[in-house]
Amino acid sequence: MNNKSNFRRGSVELLILHLLSQQDYYGYEISTLIREQTDGYLNIPVGSLYPALYKLIDAGYISDYKKQVGDPQELVNDYFSEQSIDKQKRSLRFSRNVKITCTIVILIVLGCTGIFFYTLNHLAQEERNAFIHREIIILKEDDTQ
């Protein structure tokens, strides 16, 4: 085996994942981009590329969908899209961050509400005490007269 085929065997999937991390492509575009980005060093025919694509689909790293190009009677291409674990982790991380942020906001609101009601109750208690104190003074004055 020559160096070219050894390189290809271990790297085609990585090249596909790299390209699909940027945007969705169909098979021929992937083959063309690999050839262009390696200055012709790697020329992977579309027929040889599809087994690698289906292997990545089976592993859950990418998915495929059909997209019509041109007029309604024109060709329908199979596009491939990155579905990497990193993308799923980013989505889960975002969801977790939203939940944490909501929890923090709720705790702050509850804390502020608690402080408000404590202060309100404390002020009401001081007012009651002042009122009682005034009434006692009035009663004492009435008793002395």
The domain containing residue 65 runs over which residues? 3-83
104 and 61 housed in the same domain: no
Total count of domains within the chain: 2
Give the residue from 58, 83, 108 where a domain finishes: 83
pTM equals: 0.49
75 and 7 housed in the same domain: yes
58 and 103 housed in the same domain: no
**CA dist list (Å): 132 to 68, 136, 137:** 84, 6, 9
What distance in Å separates the CA atoms of residue 141 and residue 145, rounded to the nearest whole number? 6
What string of pLDDT tens digits covers the 145 residues of the chain?
455 554 545 577 888 888 888 888 888 888 998 888 888 877 888 888 888 888 888 877 788 877 777 766 567 677 777 765 566 666 666 667 767 777 777 788 888 888 878 887 777 788 888 888 888 888 787 777 6
Cβ atoms of 6 and 16 within 8 Å: the answer is: no
> 102-114 pLDDT, tens per residue?
777 778 888 888 8
78 and 16 housed in the same domain: yes
Compute, in degrees rounded to 10, the torsion defined by CA atoms 13, 15, 19, 20. 10
Instruction: Say which CATH number the domain at 70 has.
Output: 1.10.10.10
113 and 143 housed in the same domain: yes
77 and 58 housed in the same domain: yes
